[in-house]
Structure 1
Amino acid sequence: MNLFFHTLFTGCSLFALGAYLAWRSAIREHTVKSFPRSKIAAIATMTIAAAWFLYRHILHLSEADFGEHKVLISIITLVLLVMPFKFLPDFLAVRGAAILVLFYSREALDAAFMQEPASRLFMVSIVYVGIAIALYLGAWPYRLRDFLNWLYVSSRRPRILGASMAAYGILLGAIAFGY
């Protein structure tokens, strides 16, 4: 767990997403608006989230933490990966992305825990914003569709949001090199 890496990765991710939103084109708007119900995005995000959970959390369980039940927990995880595609297929991409944000948030906050530089709080604050958004969208994923429809009513809104995200990403990148 490296504070430099997590701050830089968070900054680069914000910059990339912000630049993507700020660049106005009909193709990008259609791509962004189709994300919540995208089957390909759902498969990708849910599979990556399940693999992350299995690798990072299950494979390293000790005996005191139900380590003798690794196989059973892995099977349950795989069943829980497949079942939503049959019984709850709507907005799985949003739920998968929310899971990934929460998993990454844990790693980033662990990297920043008990570190000396006060500038780490720039990264920590945006991670907590991400946690709040992920929890909200994980519970009500259709709200992302509503937000995206609102966002693209005006051509200025995605540009302002994208430019703000990109600027904060650049700030985080600069802060990362200041550690």
Structure 2
Amino acid sequence: MTASTLAIGIGMGYALLHVWGVLQPAAFRLKARAFPRHEGIGWVLMLTGTLWFLWRVKQTEISDFAAYKNLMYVGFAGIGLGTCLYVKDFLAVRGFAVLSLILAAVTLERVRWIESDLRLVVVCWVYAWVIAGIWFSISPWRMRDWIEWWTHDERRTRVACALRTVLGAVVAILGATVFRTPTS
């Protein structure tokens, strides 16, 4: 996947999610506040993150770990499944944190080769994902508190979602213009 395609996909997905919050802040607020403790979404996010991480381990060709790869597969799969079974509190937040960290790694791998300084818009945003992913992994209840703060009332929800919609649109536009590589 190219940096352009990735930026367009992430930007549009982020923008479209938050357009809903601009148009229907009350409904968005209810769903957002239910997210941190939603067990079904938690299972999907955590298992997706686990499978994606296992695939990335498989793709990694570090000879230092070659002898231990099978053990690593079993261990990491066990951690992912064990988390779903035994750490159900804030499972959606934990799964979100795992996916944020993996998506950050993939995004940084792609955008680091872009010569334009505008790549720093995406790089800074992605490092915010890393900080959030680490922070929410350590203390997942902070996401609940954060969501409650920015969905405190309809006005705050609309403003926060409008700003996020603009950020997503900017990233998508960068992907469609600046990050696009000429085809030969």
TM > 0.5: yes
Structure 1 residues 146 and 65, CA, compared in 2 at 3 Å: closer, same or farther?
same
The 5 Å alignment of 1:16-31 reads: 16-31=16-31
Q: How far 1:63 moved relative to its partner?
A: 6.3
2:171 is the alignment partner of 1:172: yes
Structure 1 residues 63 and 141, CA, compared in 2 at 3 Å: closer, same or farther?
closer
Unaligned runs of 5+ in 1: none
The 5 Å alignment of 1:62-73 reads: 62=61, 64-73=63-72
Contact in 2 for aligned 1:15/1:169 (Cα 8 Å)? yes
Paired residue for 1:135? 134
Aligned-pair Cα RMSD in Å: 1.7
Structure 1 residues 34 and 60, CA, compared in 2 at 3 Å: closer, same or farther?
same
Equivalent-residue separation in structure 1 for 2:119 and 2:62 (angstroms): 35
SS of equivalent residue, structure 1 residue 66: helix
Q: How far 1:111 moved relative to its partner?
A: 0.8
User: Percentage identity across aligned positions?
Assistant: 24
CA-to-partner distance for each residue in 1:80-109, whole Å, 9 max, x for gaps?
112223432110110110110110111111
Instruction: Write the letter of the residue equivalent to 1:156.
Output: R
Structure 1 residues 3 and 61, CA, compared in 2 at 3 Å: closer, same or farther?
closer
Paired residue for 1:14? 14
Q: How far 1:34 moved relative to its partner?
A: 0.9
TM-score, structure 2 length as denominator?
0.88
Paired residue for 2:55? 55
Q: Which moved more, 1:74-83 or 1:155-164?
A: 74-83
CA-to-partner distance for each residue in 1:61-84, whole Å, 9 max, x for gaps?
436132232221111112111222
Instruction: Write the letter of the residue equivalent to 1:80.
Output: I
Contact in 2 for aligned 1:17/1:165 (Cα 8 Å)? no
Paired residue for 1:115? 114
2:42 is the alignment partner of 1:42: yes
Q: Which moved more, 1:23-32 or 1:5-14?
A: 23-32
Equivalent-residue separation in structure 1 for 2:11 and 2:110 (angstroms): 15
Q: How far 1:171 moved relative to its partner?
A: 1.4
Paired residue for 2:123? 124
CA-to-partner distance for each residue in 1:7-60, whole Å, 9 max, x for gaps?
212211220232132232544322211110111111001000011011122x22
TM-score, structure 1 length as denominator?
0.90
Paired residue for 2:181? none
Equivalent-residue separation in structure 2 for 1:60 and 1:95 (angstroms): 24
